[in-house]
Amino acid sequence: MKKFDTDRSANAPPQRPLVGAVPFCLLLFVLILPAIGWTAERTIVLGIYENGWPPYLIAHANGTNSGIAVDVFAAICRGLNVPLRVERYPDRRGLLMLNNKKVDAWPDAKEWTLNPERFVWSDIIVDSTDLLVFKKDRQFRFEKVQDLFGTQIGTRKNYVYPLLDAYFADGRIIRVDAVSETSMLKMVFLQRTDAAVINKLTALWRMKADPSLNKDMFVFSQTPVGQAGYRFMFNTDPYLQAFVARFNAKLKGMKRDGRLARIVNAYR
């Protein structure tokens, strides 16, 4: 599923004047740095949805941010000794900021993005899989979309569902909107819908966060309703094109040594 819907200062901080005698060789080295193309690592600005998308993006009320995507990005930046700043924006504004090169990176999937070739993409962090979730004692067979004809399916308001939208539109499947995944799960439990379409990791996080939603009360379909590779897209700034190669190398290392899995599992 996909939701339907600050400039970084170019001025460097003031430099403190050199005090005392400077060895001639050190002074010469400082003077020739620009000539040999050396530059300090710049701060990378990661934009995220202002309201978050747990557990991938969690925007806390105190102004801090966490979630799978934020934690992974921060860990990689620490490994590269690259400063990171996270900024929150509404979805459309964030993408505009990315296009205008005022934000460096934005978490998304190629499958959800119009003309994804406009951006430079990281490797996949984690698969984003949308499944049907049923009340445990009311599960029915779902292998193809026709199995849903005549059913009431819980959905998230203002989200689009490419596999199902045509059938929602003609009434063969009845769409029942809710304002949050927690509400969707409660509608399933109270039998106000036959099932709901929810991202699996989001559903597990909601169940973990709300004691009234014991995961033993629910069961997921084996057949996915939608699937995408969740990753980061970067603007085409030349610095970032080189940065993404280093980023992906660190990401591969996190996959090999289990650090990525530990981050993901912490939110299940």
Res 22 pLDDT > 80? no
Q: Over range 191-200, report the average pLDDT.
A: 98
Domain 127-227 CATH assignment equals 2.60.40.1930: no
Note the CATH number of domain 40-125+229-265.
3.40.190.10
- Per the prediction, the chain carries an average pLDDT of 87
pTM, two decimals, is 0.82
pLDDT tens-digit profile of 231-264? 999 999 999 999 999 999 999 999 999 999 999 9
Q: Are 163 and 226 in contact (CB under 8 A)?
A: yes
Kindly state the helix (H) or strand (E) to which residue 233 belongs, with its residue range: strand 218-234
Which residues make Cβ contacts (< 8 Å) with residue 96, sequence separation at least 6? none
Quick one: pLDDT at residue 189?
Answer: 96
Q: What is the pLDDT of residues 104-150, one digit of tens each?
A: 999 999 999 999 999 999 999 999 999 999 999 999 999 999 999 99
- Measured on CA atoms in the order 139, 268, 48, 79, is the torsion positive or negative? negative
